[in-house]
Amino acid sequence: MRRKADVNDQAQASVAPDMVHRNLIGGRQVPASNGETLDVLSPVDGKVFARIAAGTAQDVDAAVKAARSAFEGEWSRLTATERGRLLVKLALAVEAQADALAALESRDNGKPLRQARADAIALARYLEFYGSAADKLHGDVIPYLNTHFIGVERVPHGVTGHIVPWNYPMQIFGRSVGAALAAGNATVVKPAEDASLTILRVAALAREVGLPDGALNVVTGLGRVAGAALAAHPGIDFLSFTGSPETGTAVQTAAAQNHVGVTLELGGKSAQVVFDDADLERALPVLVNAIIQNGGQTCSAGSRLLIQRGIFDKVVSAVAERFAVLRAGRPEADPDLGPMINQAQQRRVQSYLERGKGEGLSLAASGGIAADAPEGGFYVAPAFFAPVPHESLLSQEEVFGPVLVATPFGDEAEAIRLANGTAYGLVAGVWTRDAMRSTRVGRAMRAGQVFVNCYGAGGGIELPFGGFGRSGHGREKGFEGLVEFTTTRTLVIAHG
């Protein structure tokens, strides 16, 4: 099977020299220590268009050392205001380059151009938010003995490691690396092998705006090599990971050997609960978009509809009507959705569709693949199954593709039981005109974020984000995400 990125053991004459991307370590752009590269395939047509360094454990070690020396040197000598200003400058540079970043992301990742542009703008907002917050983060003074002064300082962890997935590279870089830098940490980033290019570009911009060498290092490469080396490195003081539950377990296990903390964001199986008094005109486009955005490759995708029995058929046929006209196609044409990230993900989604049909689930509607979608791309037609039993595989497992299921419920208690009835707990949606019920049900959701009469609104830069259970632990985004990248030092001063 051809992966999107494979160790380059054969010459790829089609790759222009300017599309061979190197690591950024200590302010220098360097190849992998053993000179190896990975081919980067565009999911749009399955063709190689660039190469990245196949980073090694030695490269990770060099990056951690560069970060340590920045942390003990120039980076820590800056005031919080100076640090914040650099991040705001980077935000402006990203904003100015939003179109170029979007075009690169679209090609590398396959997402529609408008989504890629939204990601670039969100990255700029994260950098602006955290840059502006850098000098507003402060500790406490604790009343204790009258003879002592107690100050609790918020201090950075030191060197932080960031393992980033491929679905929203710019946004996840922004929420995690932006917060870590604002808090004063020096960082080492391992982007996903399938979508590293925009992160490398942003790291180059960071140098241009004057971020000190070593404060931000990027090592590309395979997860099981460069990612595993970063997770296990004894020089790392804190780790941030977003990805699959299985890899999250491996990362946390590795971090435990060094007794360091980890935030894990591991996806979800988020439900949207639609009561019979919901404003359907408002709800319907949101219900569909919540699963179609980014081709369903979104941790917070609304992948389950729970619909009150009295309106079940009506809502299913309205959603089905919308699904039937959805098209997957070339990202530059701004279709409803682009291709899946790689062939493995395409096959994973197809296998869930097969298993759903094997379970005897009924397909309420299926979208299509645009006629001009290039051969060799990793396209999947959206699918909507209804009714689907709550225990079914498609109701319980994260597909990470454009696959939606609908399940009927009777009363409020059943809705809550079903919504909370998976191993995940990332996001939930509640649709009702009853104000008391919206608050009651909203507060009963076992999810890190709950949206009422909206879903995933506003990008959520300011809102704490993270999960319960298999969705992981720790919080990113918002001010809480900034605090996560700090620890405390309590100073006890006896004065008489």
* Choice from 69, 97, 244, 258 touching ligand TXE (CB under 6 A): 244
Is residue 163 close enough to count as binding ligand TXE by CB under 6 A? yes
Is residue 266 close enough to count as binding ligand TXE by CB under 6 A? yes
d(CA 381, CA 401) in angstroms, rounded, equals 10
* Choice from 121, 197, 251, 373 touching ligand TXE (CB under 6 A): 251
C-alpha angle 434/387/385, rounded to 5°?
110
* Choice from 120, 180, 189, 192 touching ligand TXE (CB under 6 A): 192
Is residue 418 close enough to count as binding ligand TXE by CB under 6 A? no
Q: What are phi and psi of 480, to 5 degrees?
A: -60, -35
> Tokens for 371?
């006629």
Is residue 193 close enough to count as binding ligand TXE by CB under 6 A? yes
C-alpha angle 465/349/195, rounded to 5°?
60
Q: Which stretch binds ligand TXE (CB under 6 A): 158-166, 205-213, 305-313, 317-325?
A: 158-166
Is residue 167 close enough to count as binding ligand TXE by CB under 6 A? yes
Question: Which residue out of 105, 193, 265, 484 is catalytically annotated?
Answer: 265
Comparing CB distances to ligand TXE, the nearer of 193 and 237 is 193
Is residue 231 close enough to count as binding ligand TXE by CB under 6 A? yes
Q: Which stretch binds ligand TXE (CB under 6 A): 87-95, 212-220, 262-270, 408-416?
A: 262-270
Comparing CB distances to ligand TXE, the nearer of 73 and 464 is 464
d(CA 167, CA 406) in angstroms, rounded, equals 24
361-400 positions binding ligand TXE, by CB under 6 A = 398, 400
Q: Which residues contact 52 (CB under 8 A, 6 or more apart)?
A: 5, 21, 37, 38, 40, 193, 196, 197, 200, 220, 221
Is residue 227 close enough to count as binding ligand TXE by CB under 6 A? yes
d(CA 137, CA 482) in angstroms, rounded, equals 8
Provide the minimum distance between the beta carbon of 246 and ligand TXE in the complex, in angstroms, as a whole number.
7
Comparing CB distances to ligand TXE, the nearer of 167 and 263 is 167
Provide the minimum distance between the beta carbon of 145 and ligand TXE in the complex, in angstroms, as a whole number.
47
**Active site includes 265?**
yes
Q: Which stretch binds ligand TXE (CB under 6 A): 107-115, 206-214, 238-246, 285-293?
A: 238-246
Q: Which stretch binds ligand TXE (CB under 6 A): 3-11, 25-33, 236-244, 473-481?
A: 236-244
Provide the minimum distance between the beta carbon of 309 and ligand TXE in the complex, in angstroms, as a whole number.
30
* Choice from 165, 356, 425, 481 touching ligand TXE (CB under 6 A): 165
CB-based contact 84:127 (threshold 8 Å)? no
- Other CB atoms within a 10 A radius of the CB of residue 354 amount to 10
Q: Which stretch binds ligand TXE (CB under 6 A): 41-49, 51-59, 263-271, 314-322?
A: 263-271
Q: Which stretch binds ligand TXE (CB under 6 A): 241-249, 361-369, 384-392, 455-463?
A: 241-249
Is residue 267 close enough to count as binding ligand TXE by CB under 6 A? yes
* Choice from 55, 112, 212, 243 touching ligand TXE (CB under 6 A): 243
Is residue 173 close enough to count as binding ligand TXE by CB under 6 A? no
Provide the minimum distance between the beta carbon of 71 and ligand TXE in the complex, in angstroms, as a whole number.
22
Provide the minimum distance between the beta carbon of 230 and ligand TXE in the complex, in angstroms, as a whole number.
7
Provide the minimum distance between the beta carbon of 248 and ligand TXE in the complex, in angstroms, as a whole number.
7
Provide the minimum distance between the beta carbon of 165 and ligand TXE in the complex, in angstroms, as a whole number.
3
Provide the minimum distance between the beta carbon of 493 and ligand TXE in the complex, in angstroms, as a whole number.
42
301-320 positions binding ligand TXE, by CB under 6 A = none
* Choice from 164, 288, 403, 427 touching ligand TXE (CB under 6 A): 164
Instruction: Number of residues interacting with ligand TXE: please give it, by CB under 6 A.
Output: 27
Provide the minimum distance between the beta carbon of 387 and ligand TXE in the complex, in angstroms, as a whole number.
24
Q: Which residues bind ligand TXE (CB under 6 A)?
A: 163-167, 190, 192-193, 223-224, 227-228, 231, 242-244, 247, 250-251, 265-267, 299, 345, 348, 398, 400
Task: Show which residues are catalytic.
Answer: 265
